[in-house]
Structure 1
Amino acid sequence: MLVKLEHVTKAYGDFKLDCSLSLKEGHITGLVGQNGAGKSTTFKAILGLLTPDSGSAWVFGKDSRKLTDEDRVKIGTVLSDSGFGGHLNIREAASIMDASYESFNKEGFLYQCREHNLPANKKIKEFSTGMKAKLKVLLAVSHEAALLILDEPTAGLDVVAREEILDMLRGYMEQEGRGILISSHISSDLEGLCDDIYMIQGGKIVLHEDTDVILSNYGLLKLEDRQYDTLDKDHILCVKKEGFGYSALTNERQYYQENYPSLIVERCGIDQVETMLIGGKRK
């Protein structure tokens, strides 16, 4: 197990995190939730950047606060406030990485920068948003890390730039023993990349499910009042009152399609599931 959190709690004023999750070797796990839901606090707990009030955070089988320098070089990160100063260029950044990480492949990194059209001698502050995002990911994967912690690595990018970054991550995972924990507000990125998804709301995990199960089994029922009243609700996860009646989230879409052929039953993606779990009333 690369990462394991067991009821990690951390209180900040009115907010309290109480999170349990795990990341297996060979897996890409997504963490989704609204701004302020607890994603960044969870990442900081994993990286040992905060002291939990209670619970345990394990990375590579060790307490995350007791990781050695040798352990930390096996972690690659992309955080919103991370990265090199804008006054540097890529060659200068590569020299710093070379001095900091014994496993850093300087020539390989510079080659990948050329392949992704990142100019080696241009100041980083002059890069576009997409160029800066690609550079952050290339730096994270450049020193043979076994674990990537990525907080919104594709935020603000166009579809072409996003796909380039996703391809980098797929290439990174071709080597055994690695894993990625990634957050994103772009559900289509996660649906095509992640093995499983955790949803966090108000500091608590409200859903953990394999991505394939969400896409194949979950559904959204559109119900008039009379339809809702007579519905078998055993497989309903949550409901939301609407102007036309009710929306209902199920993890057994086929059951309702087969047994209630007159109902409107729509396929669900991550966005729809998250919206219902946040705005609906759980059964």
Structure 2
Amino acid sequence: MGHQGGRGERQISSVFLGIFAIMAVTGWAVWTGYAASPGLAVFLFVTSAWIVSLCLHEYAHARTALHGGDLTVGAKGYLTLNPLKYTHALLSIVLPVIFVILGGIGLPGGAVFIERGRIQGRWKHSLISAAGPLTNVAFAVVCTAPFWLDALDGVPLAFRYALAFLAMLQVSAAILNFLPVPGLDGYGVIEPWLSYRVRREMEPLAQFGLLAVFALLWIPGVNAFFFGAVDGLMSALGVSDLETYCGRDLYSFWRDTDGFCAVPQD
């Protein structure tokens, strides 16, 4: 078996490049106001950017695992950024996109299969789990940079709203991912430090963790608390509730709106 794997194992897939191209073209359309429907352009831009972030999230897990000692991630195609190579394409890509469309929640998916037996050391295991949500944190910082750098002059309103909504998805994904719930990355961070007995008891719950979190978010009190935390972080990053609201409003172009967030078209 090749130690480093073939070059093709690390070549960026055409699937990812295609999604990235959609993000770039629709981002340009939102920026220039070229699109006939700014809402549709924002929808395509944010959705493709969200999928790009999901691919980078899973890549971060795989790349960290590779350096940690799991040399099988290359052969599985995890280093190509191809979302179709994930263990659960449905959980990793389809469900998170549906959650965004339905409720504007950046819900993380479950994804790459790491052969944990090949990795020695608790810190390495924790870092592999943390690498994914840290990518969402980095994505949120980049999206909000124009806001906290006070560099919004010349940024078209529609693009500004789209960035605000995209950043909100990244912040909510990072918070949810870091929850210490079995099946989520936050639990993966602390799991190596738990006793064998506790880990055995928690193992069967992993498959229900994500669904349990989603169900809890339907409880009004929990939902209000969660989005209060998200709004607080967004505010710290310089993004107002209004900008996030208008981003979601534009994104949901199929809904009847009051025109409150209408953007001027060139």
TM-score relative to the length of structure 2: 0.26
**Larger strand percent:** 1
TM-score scaled by length of structure 1: 0.25
Give 1 or 2: higher helix fraction: 2
